[in-house]
Each structure stands twice: as C-alpha cells, then as structure tokens.
C-alpha cells in the first residue's frame, strides 16, 4: 500500500475510533438532546435566506416563519424545561400566522383574505398568550367583564332615559 493511502486509512480509523469513543461517552446523546430544536430553526432561517437571495419564491416564507417560531419555542423549552410549554403553547398558532403574514406582506399577490387570516391567527395567539399568562386570574377578570357588559346592556335604556329627562 502506498504511503499516502496508508495515512488516509490511518486517519479514517482514528476518526472512526474517536466517533465510537465519543458515542460511548454520551457526547452525541447530549448534543442531540440539547441541540435538536436547531433541526427546526435552521431550515426556517434557511428558507428566509433563500427568499432573501431570490432563490425561492415568497411561498417559502410560510413554512420558514412557522419553523422559525417553532424552533425558538422548542429552544426555550429545551433550555428552561418543558413546563414552559404551559405558557408558550399559543405560539403554535403564532407560527403559521407569522409565516402567512410574511407571505402576504412580501408576495406579489395581495389577498385580503389571507391578510385577515394571518392577522386573525396572530391575534388569537396573542389573546391566548394573555390567557395562559394570567391563568385562573383571567377567569375571574373575564367573569367580571361579562357581568359588567351584561349590566350595561340591561340598564342602558334606563341610563339613556335618565339623560333625556329623568325617570318616567
């Protein structure tokens, strides 16, 4: 065997041994457990970059926005624990909303229906974020707001009548 081939085979064997050794030590398990959200985040960012470089059309922003938001959410959960998903779950509506909004904003097709759908998903996500952040306190606040709204609807004619000339 020529000297160059012998060195190449030797380097290959050393690398294979290192990979097996690192695998036995759990390095790849650790890296997979820590960095798996990058499997969502990197393609999302890559789709945005492909659109920016004019390689892909605007429709690539829809999955790009969704994957980017999901990658960020899972990175946060992976870092601070998956109990955080109790608060971050509305981002599953935010991802498609952001992707659709980017598409509508940057494509040549300006569909009002898609625009309103994107804003609806983003708005729903924001409302659900507020609900999830407030937790049980929200239910009390919501109940009081319902009672006040109902009271205004019931007593509004009397209030208007009082303004016009008093009780009859």
Q: Please answer whether residues 88 and 77 qualify as being in contact, where contact means their C-beta atoms are separated by less than 8 angstroms.
A: yes
Give domain limits for the chain.
1-35, 36-152
What pLDDT is recorded for position 166?
59
Whether this prediction's pTM lies above 0.85 is answered by no
Collapsing DSSP to helix, strand or coil, 37 comes out as: coil
Confidence class for position 2, pLDDT limits 50, 70, 90: low
Confidence class for position 34, pLDDT limits 50, 70, 90: confident
What pLDDT is recorded for position 139?
77
66: its two tokens: 């969704």
Q: What is 71-134 written as a DSSP string?
A: HHHHHHHHHH-GGGHHHHTTHHHHHHHHHHHHHHHHSS---HHHHHHHHHHHHHHHHHHHHHHH
């Amino acid at each position: 065997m020529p000297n160059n081939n012998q060195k190449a085979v030797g380097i290959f064997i050393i690398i294979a041994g290192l990979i097996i050794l690192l695998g036995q030590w759990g390095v790849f398990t650790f890296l997979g457990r820590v960095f798996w959200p990058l499997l969502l985040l990197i393609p999302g960012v890559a789709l945005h970059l492909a659109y920016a470089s004019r390689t892909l059309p605007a429709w690539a922003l829809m999955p790009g926005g969704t994957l980017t938001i999901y990658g960020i959410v899972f990175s946060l959960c992976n870092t601070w624990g998956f109990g955080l998903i109790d608060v971050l779950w509305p981002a599953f509506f935010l991802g498609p909303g952001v992707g659709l909004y980017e598409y509508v904003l940057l494509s040549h097709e300006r569909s009002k229906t898609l625009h309103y759908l994107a804003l609806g998903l983003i708005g729903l996500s924001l409302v659900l974020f507020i609900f999830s952040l407030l937790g049980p306190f929200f239910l009390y606040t919501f109940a009081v707001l319902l009672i006040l709204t109902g009271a205004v609807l019931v007593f509004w004619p009397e209030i208007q009548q009082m303004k016009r000339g008093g009780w009859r």
